[in-house]
């Protein structure tokens, strides 16, 4: 069994919201309910995600009748590594990454933590090479999945 580095659901949902909004025609508004339905995700979870994405400056909210949300910046200016850094709780891959709670007896002499830090930096460096625009180059296919035409 392979253990892999994982993003939290919060980060996963954040990236999905950004991709959803980027796949829409530029400037078009969406609603949390619409995104919730497209991904079959709890509206309550998405409301929190959308609120934080707004605070981080990735999206904007338009209030009032006919309001909704949309990207605040162009998809090519939303760096995936930056989104992950803003949405993940911590990057403590192992106990010794936290000085306050570390109980590992090997910590003072351990060579592993340096390798794990290097791996984490490499992981984030890969994410830094991409923007949300990279994930919506196939807008037509995304649109067929996220915005199906209404049934007649």
The predicted-structure confidence for 79-101, as pLDDT tens digits, reads as follows 999 999 999 877 776 666 667 77
Contact in structure between 57 and 50 (CB atoms under 8 Å): no
Nearest to residue 46, comparing CAs of 17, 75, 68?
17
Considering the entire predicted model, what is its pTM? 0.85
Same domain as 67, residue 28:
yes
Q: For residue 100, what pLDDT is reported?
A: 77
What's phi and psi for 83, nearest 5 deg? -60, -45
Which tokens sit at 82?
A: 């930056």
Nearest to residue 25, comparing CAs of 63, 75, 89, 62?
75
Same domain as 118, residue 102:
yes
> At 58, which CATH number?
1.10.10.10
């Amino acid at each position: 069994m392979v253990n892999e580095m994982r993003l939290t659901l919060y980060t996963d949902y954040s990236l999905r919201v950004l991709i959803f909004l980027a796949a829409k025609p530029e400037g078009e508004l969406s609603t949390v309910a619409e995104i919730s339905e497209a991904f079959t995700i709890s509206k309550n979870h998405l409301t929190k995600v959308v609120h934080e994405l707004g605070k981080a400056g990735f999206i904007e909210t338009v209030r009032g009748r006919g309001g909704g949300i949309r990207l605040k910046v162009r998809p090519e200016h939303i760096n995936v590594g930056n989104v992950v850094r803003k949405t993940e709780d911590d990057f403590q891959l192992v106990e010794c990454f936290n000085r306050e709670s570390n109980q590992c007896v090997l910590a003072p002499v351990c060579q592993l933590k340096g390798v794990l830090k290097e791996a984490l930096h490499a992981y984030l460096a890969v994410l830094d090479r991409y923007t949300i625009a990279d994930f919506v180059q196939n807008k037509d296919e995304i649109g067929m999945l996220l915005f199906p035409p209404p049934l007649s």
